[in-house]
Amino acid sequence: MDTLTQMLLGAAVGQAGFRRRLGRRAIAAGAVIGLLPDLDVAAGWIGGTFATWLHHRGVTHSVFFGPLAGPVIGWLAWLMAGRRGRAGPPGQQPGEQPDCLRSWVYLAIMALITHPAIDLFTSYGTQLLAPLSRFRFAINAMPIIDPVYSLFLVAAVLVGILARNRPRLAQDAAAAALVAVTGYTLMAWSINDRIEAAARDTLPDATRVTAYPTLFQPYYRRIVAETPEAVLVGYRSFLSDRPVRWQRFARDADPRIAAVAATPEARLFAWFAMGNLHWQVVPGADGGAVVEARDTRYGSAGADLGFWGIRAPLDAAGAPSGPVHPFSARPPVSGAVVVDLWAEIVGD
């Protein structure tokens, strides 16, 4: 999920499990440690979009990362706190509590583990078994950004910060928020499954029907259905009886697609998109063309086929005339877009 929510979740984990033993420092440490797995986006700063697709949600999001890196990170946090004479709660000397180091280590492990745990419930794909496997796990439950989810955590962390002398209240507030976001996630997962099952019943000829979350809320879902001839895209709200209005995107059988699909860049993109691709050939200038593939998991009105993809230019003879490169087709967010989304959610 988004960076702020990951930090809030780490803070809530630190507050729920370690506020009484480590003081309010557990909140700040949980926030910082909970963010660390997303430092893998630095690969994109060096290698560009393809590197981001390959490395983001990779090794640092593995189930092995927390147990292996957590003890080192927890030990470093303990050292930093000890140098300030504050390895334990305020007023306690560093050596007075023999299991204080253990608390820092457990905090680090838990903050690192919960990061990929919530990422798993988004459609992006998380390499939980890296580096042993590059398989991308994804549960289509939550959007990347959900303000309600984040607000549960904000409220708990505020209690933890303001309740200076009431650690039990702070821990209970954080624990309640963690239970609430867990229930909220399971509700969103159930909504997705119900919408997906209803759509599948109306499309008996489809080879695959998948529902995906859309931004900011759990109720409005993007549905992608595949048939041998086309990809169908529609939207359905859990709060409305309005039927799905399908858009049909024919599959292109142009043989020039195969040559581009065989390139390393296209194979990487297909792996990143978990096979959810739509290919087409777009006529270009001087008799040439552009082969284009889009990731169909993410989209909205104005970009129904997908927010991003890859393109490769071809000359008049059908041979590649330039490199395969990524592109973005994400429409700008505006007040009108938000109003239209709300109308779709409630069925107005």
Q: Are residues 9 and 96 in the same domain?
A: yes
Token representation of residue 237: 């709200």
Q: Are residues 162 and 291 in the same domain?
A: no
CA–CA gap between residue 251 and residue 180 (Å, rounded): 43
Per-residue pLDDT of the chain (348 residues; tens, 9 = 90+): 899 999 999 999 999 999 989 999 999 999 999 999 999 999 989 889 999 999 999 999 999 999 999 999 999 999 988 765 555 555 444 444 546 899 999 999 999 999 999 999 999 999 999 999 999 999 999 999 999 999 999 999 999 999 888 999 999 999 999 999 999 999 999 999 999 999 999 999 999 999 999 989 999 999 999 999 999 999 999 999 889 999 999 999 999 999 899 999 999 999 999 999 999 999 987 788 999 999 999 998 777 899 999 999 998 888 888 899 999 988 777 777 777 778 888 876
Phi, psi of 233 (to 5 degrees): -125, 130
CA–CA gap between residue 212 and residue 235 (Å, rounded): 9
CA–CA gap between residue 79 and residue 75 (Å, rounded): 6
What one-character-per-residue DSSP string does 210-255 give? EEEE-TT-SSEEEEEEE-SSEEEEEEEETT--PPP--EEEEPP--T
CA–CA gap between residue 98 and residue 31 (Å, rounded): 24
Q: Indicate whether 294 belongs to any domain.
A: yes
Domain extent, residue 296, equals 252-328
Q: Indicate whether 84 belongs to any domain.
A: yes
Give me the number of domains the chain comprises: 2
**Listed residue (82, 93, 74, 91) closest to 29, CA to CA:** 74
Token representation of residue 134: 């590059």
- 64 DSSP assignment: T
Q: Indicate whether 236 belongs to any domain.
A: no
Q: Contact at 8 Å (CB) between 248 and 278?
A: no
